[in-house]
Amino acid sequence: MASIQKRPDGVWRARYRDDAGKEHARHFQRKVDAQRWLDEVTTSVVTGTYVDPKTAKLTVGEWCDLWLVGYGTRRASTVRQATVHVKVIKEHFGTTRLSAVKPSDVKSWTVQLRQTYAPSTTYAIYRRLAQVMGDAVHDGIIPRSPCSRRTAPAQGQQRPYVATTDQVWGLYDAFPAHLRPAVLLGAFVGLRVSEAAALRVSDVDFMRGIVSPEIQYPSEPLKTEISRTPVPIPNELALLLSRNVETFGATTVVTNEIGRATSPWAIERAMRAHRGDVEGLPDGFRFHDLRHYLASLLIGKGLDVKVVQTRLRHGNATTTLNTYGHLWPDADESARSAVADVLAARADSLRTLEA
């Protein structure tokens, strides 16, 4: 319902009611301006881009605070990461109205972020802004998001460093005895550091040779169902892991100095302290890089992408290929040979016809 009325003072009053029955009104000096405003409102309602004028005044900072409250239902570590990202977003856009943020503003902001953060971190913060803006659209606060593929910065993915087998064993020997199982779990089982720190003795079937990760540090469920995929291990690895269990008698496979559960930070500290003891390892080598060694090992043995995906517990094969596609051997030669075979067959058929 909409109408235009002339007030006693000569001002034209345009008003309408939204779907919730709430009345909105504006005043204009000319009737034509009032009609134009109502036409714009009507068009936005029909096209689904209508936004309540009052909610449209929300700033990015105000909406981020509201958004974080709703996001608080996620696991604590996920909320902490989102809070860090939101803090960066508010530093730049905090006082800006949501409806005023343009795609060009987002692009220039990502350029500034690249001057402070690594490309992967810049992309993660941008994706958080896109998530926040997308939820604002879903709530009807803004008609469309300023974030799109056109505004997205490069992800900045780098090829992972792949340690040699000698370097992996060098790390194993350099680590304190109570943390050595972590190296084995990273390099030969493919566990992430939070999974390795929390792996319980009950999660390992030493007789059958199966590791079944169920939780991550401190005692939270794994994020995805694929992460709970059981991983088969050889008897030799099961024996190495069981020795630490027998020595320290703890409930977790990886322990601290006195046989109690350890933490991801303790494992990463050991990595930083001892990676320099291994010739050739880069300064930035992390525990997660041990997973890259496992991927390289499996690919080098001729296993296909689906097997590697399953062993690394990736959500899909695309992730595996994007990260490790370059490790599959003889890719160039295989492609060259495939084309050469077709050309050779063509040449043979022509020689047969000529004969």
pLDDT computed for residue 326 by the predictor: 65
The total number of residues written for the chain in this structure: 355
pLDDT computed for residue 45 by the predictor: 58
Per-residue pLDDT of the chain (355 residues; tens, 9 = 90+): 577 878 888 888 877 776 666 777 778 788 888 778 677 766 665 555 555 556 657 899 999 999 999 998 887 878 999 999 999 999 999 999 988 899 999 999 999 999 998 888 899 999 999 999 999 988 878 888 999 989 999 876 556 788 999 999 999 999 999 999 999 999 999 999 999 999 999 999 999 999 999 999 988 888 788 889 999 999 999 999 998 888 887 899 999 988 899 999 999 999 999 999 999 999 889 999 999 999 888 888 888 888 888 888 888 877 777 777 667 665 555 666 667 777 877 777 777 776 6
Mean pLDDT estimate for the chain: 85
Q: Please, are residues 41 and 2 in contact by the beta-carbon 8 Å criterion?
A: yes
The Cα 320–Cα 305 span in angstroms is: 7
* Phi then psi dihedrals of residue 23, to 5 deg: -90, 140
**pLDDT single digits (tens) 106-161:** 999 999 999 998 888 899 999 999 999 999 988 878 888 999 989 999 876 556 78
Taking the CB of residue 291, how many other CB atoms lie within 10 A of it? 23
**pLDDT single digits (tens) 175-196:** 999 999 999 999 999 999 999 9
pLDDT computed for residue 339 by the predictor: 77
